[in-house]
Structure 1
Amino acid sequence: MSHYLTPGHYLPHDAPMLLLESVESVTDEQAICRVTVNRSGVLAPFIDANGNLPGWYALELMAQTVGVWSGWHRMQRGEAQISLGMVLGARELKCTAGEFQADSLLDITVTLLMQDERFGSFECAISANGEKLATGRVNTFQPSQEELTTLFQQGASS
């Protein structure tokens, strides 16, 4: 049994946009989360007619695992509030099969490459049964509360 809380405790997401089922490990440099591709789990709304998850979900799975890493570290520092982070982009994102097969258990691993107070870069991989299915580098940005307020006010007035 994991001593970690569920992913929803570390992320500012609710169903159906919470795409992770469990947190397996978090260290200073890395986080590993899991999810099963099936019609009865958290990925059910996104499964295709063949029971598979389209490969373009790789970026969101990776980004949410980065969010778990960040949220866990915030909790360790005693920061109670979950903070919204943003994906600036992904480099060399590849999903070799183009989809994640039905009933596969996906391990999403993110490894910190660089971080300062507001920017981070993570090497990411998604695997099942020891086989790498997707890889890429995710770059993130941590906006200030003032920036978030401005962003959401501008979005509401559009």
Structure 2
Amino acid sequence: MTETTLPSILELVPHSGAMSLLDRVIAVEGERLSAEVVVPADGLFSHDGGVGAWVGIEYMAQAVAAWAGWQSRQLGEAPRIGLLLGTRRYRCSLPRFAAGQTLQVDIERGYQADNGLGQFECRIHADGTELASATLTVFGPKDPSAFLNGETV
């Protein structure tokens, strides 16, 4: 799907304000999504001319949330809250992402159980070079409010 027909990131990811880290979705097809972020000089996690490499995990998680939001949108539903359960093998080739640097965050769903547990392979690129990679495990309950209130779902 071309970027001109894609909704705003704010329509797909249930984050707002300073916690909305991605700038836009640039492609989505099947089990994959690509998003873009220009590393801010004065964002929530900005420090010493960039953001620490650990923020890449949140960029990846929000790209997964955008993919899930896209899937919900295709069903006529609103985006739901999801939870990042864990990260395996996060590797990053640099200690920080530089302010002003344009990053492409690519995610692909590898597994999804009926109970909402899923696993995604994620990568961050800049100028065609892979900078970071990880496997994220996420959980998207059918009824997030009930789950967060401790109710059986």
Tell me if both proteins adopt one fold, taking TM over 0.5 as the criterion. yes
1:149 is matched by which residue type in structure 2?
Answer: N
2:101 is matched by which residue type in structure 1?
Answer: S
Please state how far the C-alpha of 1:148 moved relative to its aligned partner. 2.0
Match of 2:40 among 38, 63, 70: 38
- CA distance in 2: counterparts of 1:24 and 1:69, whole angstroms: 11
Q: Which structure 2 residue ranges, 5 or more long, are not aligned?
A: none
8 Å CA contact 1:111–1:124 kept in 2: the answer is yes
8 Å CA contact 2:68–2:79 kept in 1: the answer is no
Please state how far the C-alpha of 1:8 moved relative to its aligned partner. 1.1
Q: Which has the higher strand share?
A: 2
8 Å CA contact 1:2–1:23 kept in 2: the answer is no
TM norm structure 1: 0.87
TM norm structure 2: 0.89
- CA distance in 1: counterparts of 2:4 and 2:85, whole angstroms: 31
- CA distance in 1: counterparts of 2:150 and 2:58, whole angstroms: 24
Aligned equivalent of 2:25: 23
Please state how far the C-alpha of 1:103 moved relative to its aligned partner. 1.7
- CA distance in 2: counterparts of 1:93 and 1:127, whole angstroms: 14
How many residue pairs get matched?
146
- CA distance in 2: counterparts of 1:122 and 1:130, whole angstroms: 21
8 Å CA contact 2:6–2:25 kept in 1: the answer is yes
Q: Which region of structure 1 is more displaced relative to structure 2, 1-10 or 27-36?
A: 1-10
Q: Does 1:122 align with 2:124?
A: no
Q: Which structure 1 residue ranges, 5 or more long, are not aligned?
A: 152-158
Please state how far the C-alpha of 1:132 moved relative to its aligned partner. 0.7
Q: CA RMSD in A?
A: 1.4
Please state how far the C-alpha of 1:37 moved relative to its aligned partner. 1.4
8 Å CA contact 2:39–2:98 kept in 1: the answer is yes
